């Protein structure tokens, strides 16, 4: 398992690459607003979210683009420092790397398009979950792991330097 910061940064980079590659495929194969049936609970769609999670602040005139970009970059920088400080705390470093990679993936969209590209839509019994993407998934999994690490008091496996 990785115990050097570089390994965790590579993981964050892989999240960015997978996120951007998936968005590239979607942008080249799905029209805006088009819905492609995948399974009884899952569609592919192409939407652009100028806000944050669940379209928070999406109705604002545009300042939120730069606010969320700066916020994500600042949080990612802090996470990079924390990974550097605690690379042997595997659960913590994994969680931070996933969140950092997802945040950077969405920052790329905000800079390029002014909004985040979303394309995964889940639904059940007439309820449609807001569309999301690979970056959002990494952020969600990373946040869950971060909470789990804090609640379980995951052991600190720091190596002396």
Predicted confidence (pLDDT) per residue in 47-88, tens digit: 998 766 655 555 555 666 678 789 899 999 999 999 999 888
**Would you call 19 a catalytic residue per the annotation?**
no
- Range list of H helices, 30-133: 63-85, 90-113
**Would you call 118 a catalytic residue per the annotation?**
yes
CA distance readout (Å), 58 to 5, 7, 75, 115, 160: 35, 35, 21, 9, 46
| Tokens encoding 2 | 């990785």
Q: Does the residue 147 lie in any domain?
A: yes
pTM for the whole thing?
A: 0.87
Q: Does the residue 37 lie in any domain?
A: no
Q: What's the domain count of the chain?
A: 1
**Could you list the residue range(s) of the whole structural domain that residue 107 is in?**
5-32+46-152
Q: Does the residue 124 lie in any domain?
A: yes
Which residue in 19, 59, 109, 118 is the catalytic one? 118
Interior angle at CA 135, CA 121 and CA 118, nearest 5: 35
Q: Does the residue 40 lie in any domain?
A: no
Q: What is the pLDDT of residues 127-139, one digit of tens each?
A: 988 899 999 999 9
Which residue in 3, 19, 59, 136 is the catalytic one? 136
Q: Which pLDDT belongs to residue 154?
A: 58
Q: Does the residue 128 lie in any domain?
A: yes
């Amino acid at each position: 398992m990785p115990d050097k910061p570089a390994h965790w940064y590579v993981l964050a980079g892989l999240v960015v690459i997978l996120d951007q590659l998936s968005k590239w495929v979607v942008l080249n194969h799905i029209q805006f607003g088009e819905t492609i049936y995948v399974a009884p609970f899952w569609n592919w769609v192409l939407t652009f979210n100028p806000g944050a999670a669940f379209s928070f602040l999406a109705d604002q005139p545009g300042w939120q683009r730069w606010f969320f970009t700066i916020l994500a970059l600042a949080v990612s920088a802090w996470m990079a420092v924390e990974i550097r400080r605690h690379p042997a705390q595997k659960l913590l470093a994994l969680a931070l790397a996933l969140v950092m990679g997802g945040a950077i993936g969405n920052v790329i969209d905000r800079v390029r398009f002014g909004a985040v590209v979303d394309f995964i839509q889940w639904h059940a019994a007439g309820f449609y979950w807001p569309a999301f993407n690979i970056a959002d998934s990494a952020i969600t999994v990373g946040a869950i792991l971060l909470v789990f690490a804090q609640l379980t008091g995951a052991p600190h496996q720091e190596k002396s330097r």
